[in-house]
Amino acid sequence: MSNSGRFAHRVWAATLLALSLITVGTTAHAAPPQNLPIDPVGYRIVDDTMDISNPLPGDGLSDDVGYSRTDSSNGSARSPRSIIGPDDRTSVTDTRFAPYRRTGEITFSFGTPAQTATCTGWLISPSTVVTAGHCLTDGTDLSSHITFTPARNGTQTGPYGTYRASTVWFDSKYGAPGRDWGVIELDGPAGNDVGWYGLEPVTAADLVGQPARIIGYPTDQAPGTMWQDNAPIVRQTDRTLRYTTDTYSGQSGASVTITDEDTANAIHNGGGLANSGTILTAELFNTLARLRS
């Protein structure tokens, strides 16, 4: 891991960070399971490869954590703050502002011979990144050499450095509806500098007509540049959202924020006549909340 993203923390900044960590997950109302099961499985990364011979069991990860949202953080670093019809995306010219700096570019290799690809990920704690499951597995092949560069803005390292994956989680039944989610645990606390998103499940609300905001790294633009768009949700099922927000390959795994730019409600994972995202059901929310580190 590059050390360029680690800053000396002043006492006041450390105090603010400690307070934000204490308040994570203190909301009174719980998120009971919705009977929409998922099947988490994890692997430690050894020599940049998933250790598939020693899977980490996901038993109990989806059980009710006792609260219905987690809080966001702006971190301690000082701020300087598929195409559907016409392309409405705009570039993010300074990624060092929140909420942009909580998002980063994921690079990984797959296949034989190895090919390099990119996705988008976003922090939910100092060392935990959420992305799409298909950025980690296609159901048969597994990704390797996984890195995360928060707030990358056209440079190789980005303003806060680059981190390596130490553990990954995804759904052992990847490919089934609502199972396209993934988690990467990093080898360092990137979020201490850049902050992280809060989480809130979608348990009953009708979100059709609400705006879906997506920030990420599309591969049809200059390498490593961040773009965003915001457009209405047009369809909702118990596990997925469909929206007209413009995205492109490389933005898979981006957060979908709806009513609060600091709080994610879904994970962007695909395109078509309308783009789509995996809803944070109660089970998925509980799993992500337990995996934060």
Please report where in the chains the tokens 């190895």 appear, as a residue: 114
Three-class secondary structure of residue 11 per DSSP: helix
Which of 134, 143, 268, 276 is catalytic? The answer is 134
Tell me whether residue 134 is one of the annotated catalytic residues: yes
Q: How many CB atoms lie within 10 A of CB 228?
A: 21
H/E element, 217: none
Tell me whether residue 145 is one of the annotated catalytic residues: no
User: How many degrees, rounded to 5, is the angle at CA 146 between CA 143 and CA 147?
Assistant: 160
Q: Yes or no: say if 151 and 194 are a contact pair by the CB < 8 Å rule.
A: yes
Query: Which residues in 196-257 belong to E strands, given as ranges?
Result: 198-199, 211-216, 227-236, 240-243, 255-257
Which of 68, 72, 76, 252 is catalytic? The answer is 252
Rg (CA), the chain: 17
Tell me which residues are annotated as active site: 134, 252
